[in-house]
Amino acid sequence: MTRGPGSIRIVGILCALLTGCGDRGSDAPVRPSQAETKSSVTGARVVHPPQAVRDRLSAEPVGLRAVVEVVTAPGEVALDLKQVAKITSRIEGQVERIHVQLGDRVQKGQPLAAIGSLQLDQLIEEYLVGKAQADVAENSFRRTEKLRAEDIVPERKLIEERGRYLETKARYQHIREKLLNMGLSRSELTELERGRHEESHRYTLTAPIAGTVVTQTAVRGQGVAPGHELFEVVDTSRVWVFANLPIEQARKFKEGETGTITPKGGEAVTAPLTYIAPVADETTRTIRVRFEVTNQRGQLKPREYVDVTLTLPGLPTVAVQVSAVTTVDKVRGVFIERDSAYAFVPIEVGREGGGWVEVRKGVKEGDRVVTEGVFDLKNVLLKEHIGSGE
């Protein structure tokens, strides 16, 4: 069958179209992979700063250094409970005289107030009668002992005298202990036994510790009862400072280590860590720690807030100064001096403290790291980055 000219023309057009399609498929650009289009932020980036910037740079060789770990926490000053005394009356009576007032500095044993008491008068009377009876009973017993030794009196008489003596002695000693527990001293009881006493006796409240009177509720003529608090004396020459640490941080410390206490606007003082709570706080899941601080000058005030700092020494490791570390494109790194240029090198950091940063990856011992002028180098790097259109 013979093909006409129209058929041949159609076949030619179809071939041309197919050939064009094939050419377009082979000429289509290949899309670069994601790895090829992603800029390498982890590689070193070299800059050549102008001479004016170079003059402001300073570089130091990287060495090994023990970087301390610094732990800080808010703290609160509290009274040392061994330095607090609440003074109460041990007997019922009436305040007749007050020797001190709020804010006075008192010494141990110093009188604070005098309390008149009928109950005290009665006890002293019983004490003096009991002492006299005990003395008479003892003399009678001693005399009977001698007579019995000479077989002048029967054994029964000696037993009766001994029983009477022990009974009166026990009664006398019981009253004596009651007076001592009320606050009377042994010397005062001796004076009573010698007859040197007043017709009306006063119970004197004295300071059990040296310190400052911070609470006074007693006034003249006031009636008091046993257990009624009249004064509070505190000594702030030694105070406690409490802080709460996260459990993982508290585990790193032990009692006896030293912390630094810094009051707001005051001088820092050091103090030993004397207590680490064995149980975590139920709400905050933190561990309560306590420092005992010598406070002779009174720079720390109970109930004020302070800053608490603890440090952990570390082993020697590769470290750079904090001033050398900067951030470019969200990557932390340092500038290393290389001949006439400077390379920004990303680093992996560890613990930080005392003005130094541990470098776990990125630099090695001996590299010269820029410590001054880092900001200027960073500006040069960013300008070159913008100028290159990257």
Q: Is residue 257 part of a domain?
A: yes
* pLDDT, the chain, mean: 84
Which of the four pLDDT bands, split at 50, 70 and 90, describes residue 29? Answer: very low
pLDDT, residue 383, reads 83
What's the pTM?
0.62
Mean pLDDT of 374-390: 78
Residues 224/129, Cβ–Cβ less than 8 Å:
no
pLDDT, residue 36, reads 35
Same domain for 326 and 303, yes or no, is no
pLDDT, residue 168, reads 93
Same domain for 324 and 306, yes or no, is no
Between the two ends of the chain, the Cα-to-Cα distance in Å is: 67
CATH, residue 298: 2.40.30.170
Q: Is the pLDDT of residue 331 over 60?
A: yes
- Segments forming the whole domain that contains residue 148: 118-200
The predicted-structure confidence for 157-196, as pLDDT tens digits, reads as follows 999 999 999 999 999 899 888 888 776 778 778 777 776 5
The residue among 278, 312, 346 that closes a domain is: 312
Mean pLDDT of 205-220: 94
The residue among 312, 339, 368 that closes a domain is: 312
**CA torsion, ordered 369, 372, 373, 378, to nearest 10 deg:** 50
pLDDT, residue 388, reads 57
Residues 257/276, Cβ–Cβ less than 8 Å:
no
Residue at 78: amino acid letter: A
Higher pLDDT, 319 or 41: 319
Q: Is residue 292 part of a domain?
A: yes
Degrees (nearest 5) of the Cα angle 25, 28, 29? 155
Same domain for 308 and 252, yes or no, is yes
Percent of the chain with pLDDT over 90: 50
pLDDT, residue 198, reads 54
Which of 71-80, 119-128, 159-168, 373-382 bottoms out in mean pLDDT, i.e. has the lowest? 119-128
Q: Rounded to an integer, what distance in angstroms lies between the CA atom of residue 368 and that of residue 385?
A: 24
Q: Give the count of domains, the chain.
A: 3
pLDDT, residue 78, reads 97
pLDDT, residue 13, reads 46
Residues 351/70, Cβ–Cβ less than 8 Å:
no
Residue at 115: amino acid letter: I
Higher pLDDT, 352 or 253: 253
Same domain for 194 and 147, yes or no, is yes
Same domain for 303 and 243, yes or no, is yes
Same domain for 246 and 290, yes or no, is yes
pLDDT, residue 35, reads 36
Give the gyration radius of the chain's Cα atoms.
45
Same domain for 193 and 252, yes or no, is no
**CA torsion, ordered 257, 260, 263, 268, to nearest 10 deg:** 130
Same domain for 131 and 191, yes or no, is yes
Same domain for 253 and 324, yes or no, is no
The predicted-structure confidence for 55-111, as pLDDT tens digits, reads as follows 888 989 998 988 888 889 999 999 999 999 999 988 888 999 999 999 999 999 999
Q: Is residue 149 part of a domain?
A: yes
The predicted-structure confidence for 306-328, as pLDDT tens digits, reads as follows 999 998 877 888 999 999 999 99
Q: Is the pLDDT of residue 277 over 60?
A: yes
Q: Which one, of 222, 306, 320, 310, lies nearest residue 265 by Cα?
A: 306
Q: Rounded to an integer, what distance in angstroms lies between the CA atom of residue 169 and that of residue 296?
A: 49
Count of helices and strands (H, E) across the chain: 8, 24
Q: Is residue 132 part of a domain?
A: yes
Same domain for 239 and 190, yes or no, is no
Q: Rounded to an integer, what distance in angstroms lies between the CA atom of residue 379 and that of residue 340?
A: 18
Q: Is the pLDDT of residue 39 over 60?
A: no
Q: Rounded to an integer, what distance in angstroms lies between the CA atom of residue 251 and that of residue 71?
A: 12
Q: Is the pLDDT of residue 240 over 80?
A: yes
pLDDT, residue 34, reads 36
Mean pLDDT of 333-344: 90
Q: Is residue 245 part of a domain?
A: yes
Q: Which one, of 376, 355, 333, 364, lies nearest residue 61 by Cα?
A: 364
pLDDT, residue 10, reads 47
Same domain for 266 and 321, yes or no, is no
Which of the four pLDDT bands, split at 50, 70 and 90, describes residue 137? Answer: very high
Same domain for 245 and 286, yes or no, is yes
Q: Is residue 101 part of a domain?
A: no
Surface-to-core class of residue 302, CB atoms within 10 Å of its CB (0-12 exposed, 13-18 middle, 19+ buried): middle
The residue among 291, 312, 333 that closes a domain is: 312
Q: Is residue 190 part of a domain?
A: yes
Q: Is the dihedral of CA 150, 151, 153, 154 positive or negative?
A: positive
pLDDT, residue 197, reads 54
Q: Is residue 2 part of a domain?
A: no
Residue at 260: amino acid letter: T
CATH, residue 326: 2.40.420.20
Say how many residues make up the chain: 390
